[in-house]
Chain A
């Protein structure tokens, strides 16, 4: 059964870069069918799609974050990664990675457990 797990620092200083990795297990990231996405949830707020990537490297991003976000993929490690630069307190959130059915109905499933990233000095 496909599983995803986020990893990365839980604390990032303002103006620095947030970096997270999602490891995919019991399945291949080199799927011709699916993208791989990042979604975040600030404390007390709702879910926000950050962006998604195909194993070939094709990406698309939430326009509100596009100028600061980079998503990349490493097929040899079955991982994909998220970088958000110039972070502020508004980037404090639980970050989830998930498989993204971008070709048809745009659902996310399954999701990783999520990792809390706090932006603070």
Chain B
């Protein structure tokens, strides 16, 4: 069964940087684009990074994405209180023949 794994939680203080990881396999992250979403409770998820490292218009350059092999990473620099949210990675999975989401990482800004 295809699985994409994220660390359940991460934290940092204002101004710091933090990295969130996303681990998959050759059927998903290893050969397909990774996208990242920011989800604040009670709101619609927001596309944060697409195609591994591209930022949609309006997303601050404090957010950056990268991919290496079957893992992907979301880096946030200069943490702000409004960055406190759940972050999800997602990718197409060739075995599933569909989109698979990671379990999500809850980011706390201390």
Q: Mark B89-105, 1 if CB is under 8 A from A, else 0.
A: 01110001111111110
CA distance A100 to B45 in the complex (A): 13
Tell me which residues across on chain A come within 8 A of B39, comparing CB atoms: 47
Q: Digit string of B27-42 for contact with A (CB within 8 Å is 1, else 0)?
A: 0000011010101000
Contact across chains for A106 and B47 when beta carbons are under 8 A apart: no
A51: chain B residues within 8 A (beta carbon): 98
Rounded to whole angstroms, the CA-CA distance of A110 and B97 in the bound complex is: 22
Inside 8 A of B91's CB, which chain A residues have their CB?
Answer: 106
B90 and A106 form a contact (CB under 8 A): yes
On whether the beta carbons of B88 and A106 are closer than 8 Å, the reply is no
Residues of chain A touching chain B, judged by Cβ–Cβ distance below 8 Å, are 37, 39, 46-49, 51-52, 60-63, 96, 100-101, 104-114
User: Besides A63-B98, A96-B44, 4 other CB < 8 A contacts?
Assistant: A46-B104, A47-B101, A107-B50, A108-B47
